[in-house]
Amino acid sequence: MPLTAYDLTYRTAFITGAAGGIGRASALLLAEAGATVHCADLDEAGLDETRALVTKAGGTARVHPLDVADRAQVRAALAAAGPVDVLAAIAGIMHTSSVLDTEDADLDRVLAVNFKGVLHVCQEAARAMIDHGVRGSIVTMASGAVDSARPGLFCYSASKAAVVQLTKTLASELGPHGIRVNAVAPGWVRTPMTTQHAAEQQEQMESTMLRLSPLGRLGEPEDIAHAVLYLAADASAFTTGQILRPNGGASMPW
């Protein structure tokens, strides 16, 4: 595959969750590949840092303070960005509680961001792609949690399982328009989100993941960003409705 298959010059990417972690790493990598990146997140300070890093590296970035759970905000942000060639729906939150201790408010909050937030940005981006005849790529962020049952991660796992189904259905519906839709399901990755929400179990969780991985290491945001780039670029032109699992081999589902 020629390297031009990863060239995103003259293309526009919209990335949610871009203030840090996998979202920031993806924004930097897509900008390095030539894309103009529109970075969206609730964390305005983090967005400014991401924009500065992209600019320092010679790329072009625009920022959009955004709560993906608010459809009106999503519609306004994507309208401001204009039709995009690539959507990377990466924004997400975690909540830890056992099933028996989970309150309705806990589940509603996680689903509002991790599932409905992805739905909102996918709908708005896809409508603009269709209206402007863009044969684009949509990349959603699932999780290795969809392949196994982890105590305490019910809300998170359920939301990501919903994203997987959304991804496959969208791929079926948008394929005739030349729009590809795929998901990335990372294994355990060191990000601000995972360290914040698993602080008490961090050592145990990382030890477990290291034991499960044949590669013997944990993931870094850049590992996942390369998967996002592959699915965003022409290198994956014949790939849609798929779940790419960069997880160090910790899970190997059929």
Active site residues: 156
Q: What is the DSSP string of 72-89?
A: HHHHHHHHHH-S-SEEEE
- Asked whether the CA dihedral 126, 128, 132, 138 is positive or negative, the reply is negative
Strand order in the sheet with 137-141: 60-65, 36-41, 12-16, 86-89, 137-141, 180-184, 243-244
Which of 51, 12, 17 lies closest to 193, judged by CA? Answer: 17
Within the chain, strands assigned E span 12-16, 36-41, 60-65, 86-89, 137-141, 180-184, 243-244
The answer to whether the beta carbons of residues 22 and 141 sit under 8 Å apart is yes
The answer to whether the beta carbons of residues 186 and 209 sit under 8 Å apart is no
The answer to whether the beta carbons of residues 62 and 37 sit under 8 Å apart is yes
Distance separating alpha carbons of residues 170 and 53, to the nearest angstrom = 33
* Cα 202–chain centre separation: 22
Distance separating alpha carbons of residues 253 and 148, to the nearest angstrom = 10
Within 96-234, strands assigned E span 137-141, 180-184
